[in-house]
Structure 1
Amino acid sequence: MRLGEQSSLQPYRPVVKELNAIQPADVGERDALLIVSSSFGDGEPPANAERFPDALAQWPDRHRLRYAIFGLGDTAYPHFCGFTQALDARLTQYGARAIINRVDADVNVERFFTTWLTTLDKVLAGDAQAGRDLHLRVTAYGEDHAFNAALLERRPLSARTPQAWHLRLNIAGSGIVYRAGDTVYLLPENDEGLLIRLAEWLGRPEAIDALRRRELRQISKTTLRELAQLADSEELKSLLKIRQRKSLESYLYGADLLDVLHDFCPPHAITLENLLALLPICLPRAYSIASATREESLDLCVRDVRYERGGRTRRGTATGWLLKHPGPFRLFCRANPGFYLPRDTALPVLLIGTGTGIAPLIGLLREMAAQGERRETVLIFGEKRRDEDFLYGEELVTLNATGVLTRLITAFSRDAADKYYVQHAIDDHADAVSGLLQRGAHVYLCGNRQYLEHAVATALEQACGAENLWQTLIEQQRLHLELY
């Protein structure tokens, strides 16, 4: 319907129909068939288009068709834009002529659609080259087909250990399209030191490369059961019983495969071949993108995860990889519409983040700055110390000074004798926060799941004097959460 209502198309008297309803007589020799369609399931057509390919095969003058296809899809599915790609191939086979190159759009469709409409206007006005020059196709990446992104920048954001880091990764030429609020998934490689120790335990040097991309940290109960059987470990079998759930969770917290082998498996009870049969490929690790829409790069904000256990220094699987390895880094992106800004710029936004939870929030602010968007925007940011932990502090102050941020409120918990958190900042600015929410503000919250959500929910309800505010925000789709 949006296409048919475009003012620039009205002189051509557009007719909007479902694909199933289109007949050969509906498309004259000087007409253009403009197809906007999604794909479903395994690249199948939607219900209102499923009969069209077979009907098209019977059209007498199908070779005379002029057409343009705008495909809608989701890169999370294996056959992304499968129907529109197949339809384009079939029309080409019939000898029909595309007046604009086919578009493969992910759920981040607005920018593509606007560009496509502008190109369509040029083509209909006689500029045929504009249609040939347009190339708008998202490339579908995933666990089985990741993009290798080179490292462009890696710098510390904080002075205190464990440090927060800013990274910029090169996605130029990838065809990846993202926007602020989206998520990048990293497919990491395991720590070299851990791999060497595993190879020594197994007595197999080749295990270093064989296990480099296997999941060694998030070990499933199924894998543990198999290891218990192979090692004939009654202790591990007992730990896997339902009544021992909490004990198992406590043991596995911060543990890796080498711990399990050392603690429960006699030497030579488990072979490399056993492990290769049991261990999946490294599970993707999700990170919020910390940048505005760019075609050539994306930014991340990550915390170095490092701790001691059993006489060994451990690092996070993904963060250790990101902060030690020179790259490239295997990744793919997924849209996260639940964390996008509301389209109506009259609606205020309240951004609340702690630590590296600033990542998606700085991305949203950068997007507003890049697009010249102005709306009432308040950020409440929490960390330990201003002089050591004010992540992106200079940039946030500048965004506040230039009006992208209406108000910047900080809560540094260790800068005074009494600890001061974001919930205390909400309480101290209760009138301003309450006014925002009364004006329909959307709330964006990002940080540690264990401590943040309940504290902020309680503080907002107290500030507004509304007992069920949190649930109301959820029901009105005004609450956007990224908790980890």
Structure 2
Amino acid sequence: MIRALHRWPGLLALALVTLLAVSGAALSVFPAAERIAAPQAAEAMSVADLATRIRSAHPGVEQIRRSPSGRITAFWFDGGTPGSAVIDPATGADVASADPNAFQRWLTNLHRSLFLDDAGRIVMAAGAAAMLVLAVSGCVLVARRAGGWRRWFARLRGPLAGRVHVELARAAVLGLLMSSATALWMTASTFGFLPDEGAPPEPPSAVSGRAGAPLASMPLLAATPVSSLRELSFPYPDDATDVFTLRTDEGAGYIDQGTGATLAWVGLSGWERVSETVYMLHTGQGAPLLGLLLGLTALAVPAMGITGLSIWLAGRARRPGIRDNAAPGRAETIILVGSEGGSSWGFAATLHAALTRVGQHVHTTPMSAFDPAHFSGAQRYLVLAATYGDGNAPASAKGFLDRLAGLSTVPEAPVAVLGFGDRSFPAFCAYAKSVVAAAEAKGWRLLLPFETVDRQSPQEFARWGHALGEALGIALELDHQPIRPETSALTLVSRRDYGHDVQAPTAILRFALPRLSMWQRLTGQGFARFEAGDLIGIVPEGSPIPRFYSLASGRRDGFVEIVVRRHVGGLCSSALTTLEPGGTVAAFIRRNPGFHAARDRTPLILIGAGTGVGPLAGFIRANGSRRPIHLFFGMRHPDSDFLYREELEDWAAGGRLRHLSTAISRGARPRYVQDALIAEQLEVVRAIRDGAHVMVCGGRQMAAGVAEAMTRMLEPLGLSHQLLKAEGRYVEDVY
């Protein structure tokens, strides 16, 4: 776990972390150079003495600043013309230009924000976070390799790259911990995530109205050494009501220009002192030797990046993903895989192995890596494509259709496409179908007619393999054994049963959260992070094929909840609807970000029937901001299957649900959710016109009726549910 935590931030953020380190090392030189070049004030010199000497040289002086390096800078007006210079405190005379170093300013902007303002600051903060994770996990790995914390400096053995990597880590880790942690602190302060700094003193309410008191007669200026000065601002000329403003390492105050009396003073707060210490530790301003030391440790980062990458590549070469994966240019058969959860890769491995056994040279790669120029020896392409969400490309197929569309000519080798999905969902193999359509539109010859595999069926896959073998003139046997997904055991803690009176047994099942590993907590994997609308895959006993249900709860609710209706012959639904408290199921989480309720104040129209109310109830439960929500809920009969009745009443009373409209399909006057929508057409149309989002969950027949009703209702506005979908304001979770 620790090794993975160390590996992936390093690989993914290598360039960013290297840029941070190198630019930070370069910046660490400037505080020391400034300290050497700047004339220093005598230890006994007071601010009154310094201000008197500068005013003699520049009668129009408006402000004096002292940097942490000790450099004194004065700003003035002379005949209406502004001026500034670095000052020799011994004489008050100019010694150098006060203009900032252009290269230092450029390098600072690169280091802080990549010249991208706030967006760049966030990116660089992510780099600092990656560096912090690398430093912490690296400490643990070094101790583990050395044989314990007490043997931290033990002699190392092994390959050179590994030994160099660890030795550099030993020398640099404390500096990297300090640099990354202080960088994150400063970013948090910049974006207002930390408490505000202490308040300045209240403006003086009563001043003498006089001017001209000698600076040496002002007790506060005379008692303040120059070594403590930060800034002294002079009163505005010819304004007797203005005052001197003094800021020092100890606080800030106001001084009457006519009497020299101190009018107000506020010392630095503890929080300000902490923030300034963090700034000093990160920049080296005020501690140039520390800055140089931190810069030196930062230079170890690019070297550790190179050695770390070398270690990872060597390990990857020893552990290929697909056995006997031929080189792209030598392969006769190219298998392109589009997978989201990983199951399609299992089928690809089975196909790859079977073709290899009969003498084929096969190269298997993600669809996202499709480039015919790399496959010069290809005689055929086999595409195994799953579908994500509502017909979208799965993770390993991103960009495939764009690459195909951008080809000037399609490959001469034909293509066969096999889609993977679940027929219970409307978008069954929709992405694979879009691949076939794009190939045909481009004129790419098909080796086989398009086929599909439902719910990872080994039999359907084997039948497709026979057809492929006939097309190739070989005997091809695809004996695929689906790989059981990694699951967690969920224990049922409560159940509520509905629907028996209308011959539709339904249950609300609530499971306890499973125990999580530290890695899952840190990375948010599995049950460490989920929301209502995500999917839970439940693997029924005796089958490796999961069944998916929409979640009616989120991680913050402290439990896992689903709504299940028993289907005739349904292996999983039958087991779930008969499960008693204390019983367990094997389950895992699959994200479904396309069906999440946005966290804002936009009105929300929720439409569901039967078990489709599950995730909608989860959205309402999580509506802590009391955004306006209108729920349209269809059921057969209120006495038998009014799911979440008590909760909906409580949520309405508490403001989480603004309005509830029900539709009863059994009885003297049957009514469906689309009828309820039409009955409240004016309110629905008004909400949509005001920016409301629509979320629909339930059976495909219900969803089709709702879509038709919505289009009729919105037609006078020049809208339709398709247009709302294109805007991301109409989403469905339909089965």
TM-score (norm 1): 0.54
Query: How many angstroms apart in 1 are the aligned matches of 2:598 and 2:626?
Result: 12
Correspondence 1:163 to 2:223: no
Q: 2:536 aligns with which of 184, 189, 193?
A: 184
The answer to whether the 8 Å contact 1:352/1:446 transfers is: yes
Which residue number in structure 2 is paired with residue 106 of structure 1?
none
The answer to whether the 8 Å contact 2:565/2:577 transfers is: no
Which residue number in structure 1 is paired with residue 654 of structure 2?
402
Correspondence 1:464 to 2:692: no
Aligned to 1:446, the other structure's residue is in SS state strand
Q: 1:289 aligns with which of 546, 551, 568?
A: 551
Aligned to 2:622, the other structure's residue is in SS state helix
Aligned to 1:329, the other structure's residue is in SS state strand
Which residue number in structure 2 is paired with residue 318 of structure 1?
572
- Within a 5 Å distance, the mapping from 1:364-379 to structure 2 comes to 364-368=619-623, 372-379=624-631
Aligned to 2:530, the other structure's residue is in SS state coil
Aligned to 1:453, the other structure's residue is in SS state helix
Residues 146 and 87 (structure 1 numbering): CA distance in 2 closer, same or farther, change over 3 Å? farther
Query: How many angstroms apart in 2 are the aligned matches of 1:153 and 1:120?
Result: 43
Query: How many angstroms apart in 2 are the aligned matches of 1:89 and 1:180?
Result: 33
Which residue number in structure 2 is paired with residue 69 of structure 1?
129
Q: CA deviation at 1:406?
A: 1.0
Residues 158 and 394 (structure 1 numbering): CA distance in 2 closer, same or farther, change over 3 Å? farther
Query: How many angstroms apart in 2 are the aligned matches of 1:119 and 1:302?
Result: 45
Query: How many angstroms apart in 1 are the aligned matches of 2:531 and 2:656?
Result: 18
Residues 118-167 of structure 1 deviation map (CA, whole Å, 9 limit, x = unaligned): 79999x7699xxxxxxxxxxxx9995321111111122144433221011
Which letter does structure 1 place at the counterpart of 2:577?
A: L
Q: CA deviation at 1:89?
A: 4.0
Which letter does structure 2 place at the counterpart of 1:392?
A: Y
Which residue number in structure 2 is paired with residue 349 of structure 1?
604
Which letter does structure 1 place at the counterpart of 2:562?
A: L
Which residue number in structure 2 is paired with residue 301 of structure 1?
563
Query: How many angstroms apart in 2 are the aligned matches of 1:436 and 1:448?
Result: 24
Aligned to 1:465, the other structure's residue is in SS state helix
Q: CA deviation at 1:86?
A: 7.1
- Within a 5 Å distance, the mapping from 1:225-244 to structure 2 comes to none
The answer to whether the 8 Å contact 1:430/1:464 transfers is: no
The answer to whether the 8 Å contact 1:171/1:296 transfers is: yes
Q: CA deviation at 1:99?
A: 5.7
Which letter does structure 1 place at the counterpart of 2:507?
A: W
Correspondence 1:337 to 2:593: yes
Correspondence 1:419 to 2:665: no
The answer to whether the 8 Å contact 1:158/1:391 transfers is: no
The answer to whether the 8 Å contact 2:674/2:709 transfers is: yes
Residues 177 and 421 (structure 1 numbering): CA distance in 2 closer, same or farther, change over 3 Å? same
Q: 1:151 aligns with which of 464, 483, 492?
A: 492
Aligned to 1:404, the other structure's residue is in SS state coil
Which letter does structure 2 place at the counterpart of 1:319?
A: S
Aligned to 1:22, the other structure's residue is in SS state helix
Residues 315-370 of structure 1 deviation map (CA, whole Å, 9 limit, x = unaligned): x121122233453211111222111222331x1110000000001100101111xx
Greater Rg by CA: 2
Which letter does structure 2 place at the counterpart of 1:301?
A: V
Which letter does structure 2 place at the counterpart of 1:69?
A: A
Residues 23-50 of structure 1 deviation map (CA, whole Å, 9 limit, x = unaligned): 4450588xxxx99xxxxxxxxxxxxx9x
Residues 473 and 70 (structure 1 numbering): CA distance in 2 closer, same or farther, change over 3 Å? farther
- Within a 5 Å distance, the mapping from 1:109-258 to structure 2 comes to 143-160=484-501, 161-174=503-516, 175=521, 176-189=528-541, 212-213=542-543
Q: CA deviation at 1:188?
A: 1.2
Aligned-residue RMSD, C-alpha: 4.1
The answer to whether the 8 Å contact 2:492/2:510 transfers is: yes
Q: CA deviation at 1:461?
A: 1.7
Q: 1:431 aligns with which of 682, 705, 718?
A: 682
Q: CA deviation at 1:295?
A: 7.0
Which residue number in structure 2 is paired with residue 476 of structure 1?
727
Aligned to 1:378, the other structure's residue is in SS state strand
Residues 409 and 168 (structure 1 numbering): CA distance in 2 closer, same or farther, change over 3 Å? same
The answer to whether the 8 Å contact 2:533/2:595 transfers is: yes
Query: How many angstroms apart in 1 are the aligned matches of 2:130 and 2:506?
Result: 41
Aligned to 1:173, the other structure's residue is in SS state coil
Query: How many angstroms apart in 2 are the aligned matches of 1:120 and 1:431?
Result: 47
Query: How many angstroms apart in 1 are the aligned matches of 2:194 and 2:564?
Result: 39
The answer to whether the 8 Å contact 1:397/1:408 transfers is: no
Which letter does structure 1 place at the counterpart of 2:572?
A: A
Q: CA deviation at 1:21?
A: 2.3
Which letter does structure 1 place at the counterpart of 2:702?
A: L
Q: CA deviation at 1:387?
A: 1.4
Residues 338 and 400 (structure 1 numbering): CA distance in 2 closer, same or farther, change over 3 Å? same
The answer to which of 330-339 and 463-472 deviates more is 463-472
The answer to whether the 8 Å contact 1:141/1:332 transfers is: no
Correspondence 1:21 to 2:362: no
Q: CA deviation at 1:380?
A: 0.2
Aligned to 2:619, the other structure's residue is in SS state helix
Query: How many angstroms apart in 2 are the aligned matches of 1:87 and 1:330?
Result: 36
Which letter does structure 1 place at the counterpart of 2:512?
A: N
The answer to whether the 8 Å contact 2:610/2:698 transfers is: yes
Q: CA deviation at 1:452?
A: 1.6
Q: CA deviation at 1:413?
A: 1.0
Residues 354 and 422 (structure 1 numbering): CA distance in 2 closer, same or farther, change over 3 Å? same
Aligned to 1:387, the other structure's residue is in SS state helix
Query: How many angstroms apart in 1 are the aligned matches of 2:584 and 2:547?
Result: 16
Query: How many angstroms apart in 1 are the aligned matches of 2:485 and 2:654?
Result: 43
Correspondence 1:387 to 2:447: no
Query: How many angstroms apart in 1 are the aligned matches of 2:673 and 2:562?
Result: 23
- Within a 5 Å distance, the mapping from 1:437-456 to structure 2 comes to 437-449=688-700, 451-456=701-706
Q: CA deviation at 1:435?
A: 0.6
Q: CA deviation at 1:402?
A: 2.1
User: Percent of aligned positions with the same letter in both sequences?
Assistant: 29
The answer to whether the 8 Å contact 1:141/1:333 transfers is: no
Aligned to 1:69, the other structure's residue is in SS state helix
Query: How many angstroms apart in 1 are the aligned matches of 2:512 and 2:130?
Result: 27
Q: CA deviation at 1:181?
A: 2.0
Query: How many angstroms apart in 2 are the aligned matches of 1:177 and 1:284?
Result: 20
Residues 144 and 99 (structure 1 numbering): CA distance in 2 closer, same or farther, change over 3 Å? farther
Which letter does structure 1 place at the counterpart of 2:634?
A: G
Query: How many angstroms apart in 1 are the aligned matches of 2:691 and 2:531?
Result: 24
Say how many residue pairs are matched. 298
- Within a 5 Å distance, the mapping from 1:354-365 to structure 2 comes to 354-365=609-620
Q: CA deviation at 1:85?
A: 7.3
